[in-house]
Structure formats: C-alpha cells, structure tokens
C-alpha cells in the first residue's frame, strides 16, 4: 500500500486534479492520498493558504475581509464547475467556511481552522471527483484518520500513540483522500502543522499505515545535484539516503519541509519524489541505505545568511569548560548555534544571521569579553555555507582536495572547512557574494 501526497501545484486547478486522478488510477496500490490546498496556477498567482491567512487576519481584526473571501470561494467554484461536480458540494463548502469564520473560539484556534480550509475542501472535492469517475474513494477527516497532535496552533506535533492506531486504516475499503496540513488535539480542536505541512501529514500517514512507499508528487522531475537556478540543467539525483537528504535540505535544498520526513524515516518507509506533470519520470528515491556507486558526491547545496562568531584565547584547549561557558552565553540569550568548528586556541560558532540582532551581537560580545577574557572576539556576517554531500565521501580519497581546487580555480577564498562529525558531508564557509561562482565550479569538478 502506497501513500501519495500531492502538493499545491499538483492540485491547483481542475486540469491538475485530472492528472492526479490518472496517476491514482494507474496504480492500485495508491490507497492513501494526501492533498494540499490549491497552489499557484502560474508564477503570479496566489496560493490559497496565503489568501486564507489574509482573510483570517482581516476577519479577526475587524477589517474588510470580503475581497479575500470572494477569491477563495471563486477558486473552489471554478474547480468544482470544471470538474463538473454537483453544485451542492459548493454550497456545502461555502456554508462550512461561513461557520468557521463565525466560530466562538480563541483567535489562534480560529486562525488554524481558517488556514485548514484549503486542504480540507480540496480533499472533499478530490474525493468526490474520484468517486465520480468510478473509483471507490472517499474523503476522510484527519480526526477520523487518527491524526492526533499536540495543541500548539500553527506548529502541531504528532502524538506518538496516534501512529500505531493509524495502522487500522489499512482495513478501510477503497481509496482514502486525506487533507494535509492539520490534525486534531486530544480535546478535539483543529491544529495546523507549520507552513508547508502537508508533507508532514503525508509522512505521518506513511509511517502510521506502514506504507511500502511514500510518493511525494510535486512539479519537478527529481531532486537535482545542485540548485537549477545556479547551474543550467544539472544532473538529476536518482537515489539518496535519508541522511543525504537531510544534509542537502539543511543547506537550502527546498524539496522537503525540514521536519516532514522524520516520521517516514523512523518507520523506514522509502520516499519517492515525483512529478505530477511527468509521472513517467523516475523521480528521486530516498532510502535508509543505498548502494554506493562510483560517484561519491550526490549533491551540493548552498545557503546564505550565516555569521561566524570567532573567539581565540592562548591555551584555550587546556581551559576546562571554555566551550561550555561560551555556548551557555548563547543559550542564555536564546540563540541556537549551527556548527562550532574549533582549533587548539580558537573556536568559531556559526549562527543564523536572522537569530542575531545588532543589540544581541553587542551584548554577546560584551559578555564573552567580561566572562571568558579571550584574546580576540569578533563577528563576521554575510557568510554562505556550502555542503558537499555524499555517502561515498568517507571512503573516497581526495574529495576535499578536489573541492578545494574547485574553490581555488574560481578564485574563492574559503573562510571555514568542517568535515568533523558528519560522515556524509563536507562543509565550507565562504562569502555570500561568491555562492554562484563556487557552486558552478564545484559542479564542474564533481559532475561534469
Ligand atoms: N497549504 C499549506 C501551506 O501553504 C500546507 C502545504 O501546502 O503543504 O503552507
């Protein structure tokens, strides 16, 4: 039994939904279908969820919300009409949106219920359409499906017990169409996951029902070896391990929502990224383990917006507790750190720039000076991280040398290298302005 999740662009209008139906029809193992809200139909279009958030904010703040409301209704109406579904479904949807707005609950809960309108009604529409074309399919609400989550509006977490109970869904007849992006608290309140969270639902359902495969349908043929906006037509990745995917998505590969894969990974369900607009393409398969081929690097990712806090002190290595005290200062100031490459007398702590306001920066440097008495402390902003990722790295000689030569032939200075704990990646820190040149040069070195 497979779980197939269709993202926003795959279910953005009637034409896309018909493609989805063909995909479902073509494989009887596709039993659990998770859907997003209608996404963008073109690059200048709106995402239904964004419109719902605008509508919710306006409604809650007593501002005019009618324009947003009409856009939401028009979008559903267009889909229903083009799929030639009964107008009573549209009436039902409109009634439920009105009653969601009128709910007498806290603003947070109301906002979550409004945000979920897109997924919930799209699942109803798709369920109805699949039945209409003769499949045995029905919409199932996440409460009935057993998606029970913590009561944290906009950031729900699945409760571990609910996964085991979801296994019973396998016994249900026919195809089940489940709206993504939300679950219910133990008290029965609707709570959404973080943005992009339909991927989380897909992964939870895949884990719960112990699917043989979790297919994630989007609008790309596969995951690419590097960002296709930096290198034209880069090679596709056919197989990745979970660990490789995590390292790549950490540094800017945005195919997946960060936490989304966790339930599927824990349950060891293989994940396949596929294209709704080209379902014949093989896609990228993400597995717990894979055979290492002769290409040791699987992908190269990059992300900017980092800064490096550099601290040096003569004989630092002999000073017991230095690292702890330094990290404690960050903890006290509520700042998480990304990496901390260190030398004998130096340590750099890499932090996301968005976590460090100029006021915090001043405070931290002051505290380090007062409490740790270093020789130097400085902060450098505008750093980009580049990750060269591949399970084959550990056993291949000369990868670092190849990467370093790629930087040097592009005339790029490396600020930091870290190949410490992770066995599957090598990390480089460079100036943000050099990202494109660096990626292009690394791509030439490893893939051409
Ligand atoms: N519709 C939700 C969002 O835009 C969830 C999703 O599409 O995955 O965040």
Inter-residue contact 127 to 147 (CB < 8 Å): no
Same domain, 131 and 256: yes
Residue 292 lies in a domain: no
Residue 223 lies in a domain: yes
Residue 294 lies in a domain: no
Q: What is the CATH number of the domain that holds 147?
A: 3.40.1160.10
Separation between Cα atoms, residue 298 and residue 224, nearest integer Å: 9
Q: How far is it between the farthest Cα atoms of the chain?
A: 77
pLDDT at 292: 80
Separation between Cα atoms, residue 14 and residue 78, nearest integer Å: 8
Q: Other CB atoms closer than 10 Å to residue 104's CB: what's the count?
A: 5
How does pLDDT run across 55-72, given as a tens digit for each residue? 999 999 999 999 999 999
Inter-residue contact 309 to 339 (CB < 8 Å): no
Same domain, 374 and 281: no
Residue 385 lies in a domain: yes
Same domain, 12 and 103: yes
Separation between Cα atoms, residue 156 and residue 376, nearest integer Å: 43
Atom of ligand 1 nearest to the CA of 198: 8
Residue closest by Cα to atom 8 of ligand 1: 196
pLDDT at 66: 96
Name residue, tokens 């990750």: 387
Domain boundary among 287, 307, 338: 287
| Residue 426, phi then psi, degrees to nearest 5 | -130, 130
Residues whose beta carbon lies within 6 Å of some atom of ligand 1: 8, 36-37, 47, 49, 118, 180-181, 195-199
Same domain, 268 and 303: no
Same domain, 380 and 331: yes
Domain boundary among 231, 261, 287: 287
Q: What is the CATH number of the domain that holds 315?
A: 3.30.2130.10
3-state SS class at 187: coil
Separation between Cα atoms, residue 342 and residue 339, nearest integer Å: 10
Q: Other CB atoms closer than 10 Å to residue 368's CB: what's the count?
A: 19
Residue 306 lies in a domain: yes
How does pLDDT run across 28-38, given as a tens digit for each residue? 999 999 999 99
How does pLDDT run across 359-377, given as a tens digit for each residue? 999 999 999 999 999 999 9
Q: Answer yes or no: is pLDDT of 315 > 80.
A: yes
Q: Answer yes or no: is pLDDT of 294 > 90.
A: no
Domain boundary among 287, 307, 333: 287
pLDDT at 328: 96
User: Which residue among 117, 118, 179, 182 is best mutated to probe the pocket of ligand 1, counting the most ligand atoms within 8 A of its Cβ?
Assistant: 118
Residue closest by Cα to atom 6 of ligand 1: 196
Same domain, 44 and 133: yes
Which helix (H) or strand (E) segment holds residue 369: the answer is helix 358-372
Same domain, 261 and 321: no
Q: How confident is the model at residue 116 (pLDDT cuts 50, 70, 90)?
A: very high
Pairing of strands 2-6, 284-287: unpaired
pLDDT at 81: 97
Residue 203 lies in a domain: yes
Same domain, 425 and 276: no
User: Which residue among 54, 56, 119, 202 is best mutated to probe the pocket of ligand 1, counting the most ligand atoms within 8 A of its Cβ?
Assistant: 119
Q: Answer yes or no: is pLDDT of 303 > 70.
A: yes
Which of 339, 354, 333 lies closest to 417, judged by CA? 339
Averaged over 142-167, what is the pLDDT?
94
Same domain, 267 and 329: no
Mean pLDDT of the chain: 93
Q: How far is the CA of 30 from the centre of ligand 1 (A)?
A: 22
The two counts, helices (H) then strands (E), for the chain are 15, 17
pLDDT at 385: 92
Residues spanned by the domain of 154: 2-287
Domain count across the chain:
2
The percent of residues above 90 in pLDDT, for the chain, comes to: 83
Same domain, 250 and 142: yes
Averaged over 421-432, what is the pLDDT?
88
pLDDT at 420: 66
pLDDT at 272: 95
Atom of ligand 1 nearest to the CA of 8: 7
Same domain, 276 and 361: no
Does this model's pTM top 0.75? My answer is yes
DSSP string for 277-328: T-TTS--EEEES-----S----EEEEEEEEEEEEEE-TTGGGSTTHHHHHHH
pLDDT at 252: 67
pLDDT at 341: 87
Q: Which residue has the higher pLDDT, 139 or 391?
A: 139
How does pLDDT run across 64-115, given as a tens digit for each residue? 999 999 999 999 999 999 999 999 999 999 999 999 999 999 999 999 999 9
User: Which residue among 47, 202, 216, 261 is best mutated to probe the pocket of ligand 1, counting the most ligand atoms within 8 A of its Cβ?
Assistant: 47
Q: Answer yes or no: is pLDDT of 254 > 80.
A: no
pLDDT at 233: 92
Same domain, 254 and 320: no
């Amino acid at each position: 039994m497979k779980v197939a999740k269709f993202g926003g662009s795959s279910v953005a209008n009637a034409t896309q939904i018909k493609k989805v139906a063909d995909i479902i029809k073509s494989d009887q193992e596709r039993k659990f279908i998770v859907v997003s809200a209608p996404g963008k139909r073109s690059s200048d279009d709106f995402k239904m969820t964004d419109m719902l958030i605008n509508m919710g904010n306006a409604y809650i703040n007593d501002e005019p919300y009618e324009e947003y409301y009409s856009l939401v209704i028009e979008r559903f109406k267009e889909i229903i009409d083009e799929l030639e579904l009964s107008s009573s479904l549209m009436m039902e949807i409109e009634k439920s949106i009105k009653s969601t707005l009128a709910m007498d609950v806290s603003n947070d809960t109301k906002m979550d219920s409004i945000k979920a309108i897109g997924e919930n009604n799209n699942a109803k529409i798709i369920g109805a359409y699949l039945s209409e074309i003769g499949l045995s399919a029905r919409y199932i609400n996440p409460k009935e499906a057993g998606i029970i989550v913590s009561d944290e509006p906009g950031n729900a977490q699945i409760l571990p017990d609910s996964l085991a109970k979801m296994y019973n869904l396998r016994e249900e007849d026919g195809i089940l169409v489940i709206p993504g992006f939300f679950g219910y608290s133990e008290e029965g309140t609707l709570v959404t996951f973080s943005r992009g969270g339909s991927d989380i639902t897909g992964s939870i359902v895949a884990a719960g029902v112990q699917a043989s495969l979790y297919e994630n349908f989007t609008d790309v043929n596969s995951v690419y070896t590097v960002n296709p906006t930096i290198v034209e037509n880069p090679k596709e990745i056919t197989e990745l391990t979970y660990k490789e995917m995590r390292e790549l998505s950490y540094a800017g590969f945005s195919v997946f929502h960060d936490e989304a894969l966790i339930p599927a990974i824990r349950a060891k369900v293989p994940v396949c990224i596929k294209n709704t607009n080209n379902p014949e393409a093989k896609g990228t398969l993400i597995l717990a383990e894979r055979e290492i081929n002769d290409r040791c690097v699987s992908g190269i990712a990059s992300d900017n917006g980092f800064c490096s806090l550099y601290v040096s002190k003569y004989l630092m290595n002999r000073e017991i507790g230095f690292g702890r005290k330094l990290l404690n200062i960050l903890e006290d100031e509520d700042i998480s750190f990304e990496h901390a490459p260190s030398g004998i007398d130096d340590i750099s702590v890499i932090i996301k720039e968005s976590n460090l306001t100029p006021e915090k920066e001043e405070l931290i440097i002051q505290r380090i000076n007062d409490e740790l008495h270093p020789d130097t402390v400085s902060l450098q902003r505008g750093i980009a991280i580049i990750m060269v990722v591949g399970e084959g790295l550990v056993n291949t000689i000369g990868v670092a040398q190849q990467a370093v030569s790629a930087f040097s032939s592009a005339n790029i200075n490396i600020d930091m290298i870290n190949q410490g704990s992770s066995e599957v990646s090598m990390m480089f820190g460079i100036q943000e302005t050099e990202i494109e040149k660096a990626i292009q040069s690394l791509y030439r070195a490893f893939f051409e």
